[in-house]
Amino acid sequence: MFIRDIFTMSVKGVSIQKSRSALTILGIVIGIASVILIMSLGSSAQSLIVSQVESLGPANIFILPGREPTSVQDFAGSLLSDSLRERDVAELKKKENVPHMVRIVPFVFGPAVMSYESEVRSETVIGGTSELASTFNLTVGTGDFYTDDDVLQKNQVVVLGSKIATDLFGTQDIIGHRVHIKDRSFRVIGVMDSKGQGSFADFDQSVLMPYSTAQQYLLGIRYFHRIIIEIDSANYINDSIADIQDTLRTTHNIKDPSKDDFNVKTQADLVKTVGSITTVLTTLLSAVAAISLLVGGIGIMNIMLVSVTERTREIGLRKALGATNRDVLLQFLLEAVILTLAGGVIGIIIGAGGSLLASIAFKSLVSSSWNFSLPFSAILLGCGVSVIIGIIFGIYPARSAAKKSPMEALRYE
């Protein structure tokens, strides 16, 4: 019997019970749609974060506290490390230590409760130098940014993100008004233009102030969470990294590089790290969502076994007319594959549609730079997994059908 004939009979077999077939593939549809949705959103998130990191420019070097993370414990330890201090910044500023440095921006960050009149909000506080705005490409829409004198004198001044300013003050002029953060009064000197989600924070919902003020009055620390150094040309990245490492090892009295209590990253390193993290998270979430595919596959096998039992006389008649075990096996196996592939296609369409709607929502709520992304690999994976599930969970019912004796099948009531 020709494959075309077997395929035609398989399609007819599936279409006999349309409602049952639709309910049978529901688990496959949900599983594939979930995987497609997660992979699509994961790809969009990765593109957004990478673009934000790249927007800082290839001539930036990032210094993080703690040694190079090689495990979860190292990563957690780096968040609590206090290895980057004022003396390090002072040494790195010296031209003889880092000859190609153009700008150095140490900064700190942390959560804080902010209030204005009856409004109370939990916001992210970012403390930096007066060049923080230039480093993160921020612009002040109203008022001014804080100055080096504000940093030196630990002045209690703040620049508000655009969303915070709108939520707290509406459209009124807020320059000179005071907000309370951690029971201290801070004078508003500026409001930033809308920026959205950046490489390290959502600046529209952040409060910016001199790092010395944040350290002294809010965070209670004397160290920095990050230091960004901009050099005059990307051609001197490697030389500048070596200069930075030598300088910090000298100030920290480190002889053995393996004992470094800091790590230095370039833009390429951060992009690679972001890619690795988002890929792992997407894979894990997809694996969790794929559990429903297992359930759907079991449902396919169950319904196919029922179908084999119901169609015992049909199987016997076909064998009596000359159909071989192989023909029967292929027919029922194709029926299982058709069911799962149909579920996979529907799941891909639903997942892509859900991701598109989510992207539109994120674009308006999270960041205007959020774009819809549907990796071609996700579509191939959805179709491939559907076919594989059909084969795996359809082979047993198909073999059961093929093994039936034609005489016993014809006598079946």
How do residues 402-413 score in pLDDT, each as one tens digit? 666 665 655 555
Mean pLDDT of the chain: 80
Has residue 370 been placed in a domain?
A: yes
- Write out the two tokens for 295: 């359930």
Has residue 69 been placed in a domain?
A: no
**Same domain (yes/no): 345, 236:** no
Q: Which residues pair with 180 in a beta bridge?
A: 115, 185
Has residue 9 been placed in a domain?
A: yes
Q: Which residue has the higher pLDDT, 153 or 361?
A: 153
Mean pLDDT throughout 187-199?
Answer: 80
Q: Which of 211, 228, 260 is the last residue of a domain?
A: 260
**Same domain (yes/no): 326, 355:** yes
**Same domain (yes/no): 254, 391:** no
Q: Which residue has the higher pLDDT, 49 or 392?
A: 392
Position 212 confidence tier, pLDDT thresholds 50, 70, 90: very high
CA nearest to 276, candidates 54, 17, 50, 18? 50
**Same domain (yes/no): 174, 201:** yes
- Write out the two tokens for 294: 């297992």
The proportion of the chain whose per-residue pLDDT surpasses 90, expressed as a percent, equals: 21
Q: Is the pLDDT of residue 110 over 80?
A: yes
- The total of structural domains in the chain comes to 2
Q: Residue 89's pLDDT is what?
A: 92
Q: Residue 210's pLDDT is what?
A: 95
Has residue 57 been placed in a domain?
A: no
Has residue 111 been placed in a domain?
A: yes
Position 340 confidence tier, pLDDT thresholds 50, 70, 90: confident
Q: Residue 384's pLDDT is what?
A: 83
**Same domain (yes/no): 332, 395:** yes
**Same domain (yes/no): 287, 314:** yes
**Same domain (yes/no): 95, 17:** no
Has residue 124 been placed in a domain?
A: yes
**Same domain (yes/no): 156, 236:** yes
Q: Residue 44's pLDDT is what?
A: 79
**Same domain (yes/no): 127, 188:** yes
**Same domain (yes/no): 111, 224:** yes
Has residue 58 been placed in a domain?
A: no
**Same domain (yes/no): 326, 390:** yes
Has residue 75 been placed in a domain?
A: no
Q: What is the DSSP string of 319-372?
A: HHTT--HHHHHHHHHHHHHHHHHHHHHHHHHHHHHHHHHHHHHHHHHT-TT---
Q: Residue 183's pLDDT is what?
A: 83
Q: 363 is in which domain, residue-wise?
A: 3-52+279-411
Mean pLDDT throughout 65-77?
Answer: 61
Q: Which of 33-37, 251-255, 274-278, 297-301 has the highest mean pLDDT?
A: 251-255
Q: Residue 159's pLDDT is what?
A: 94
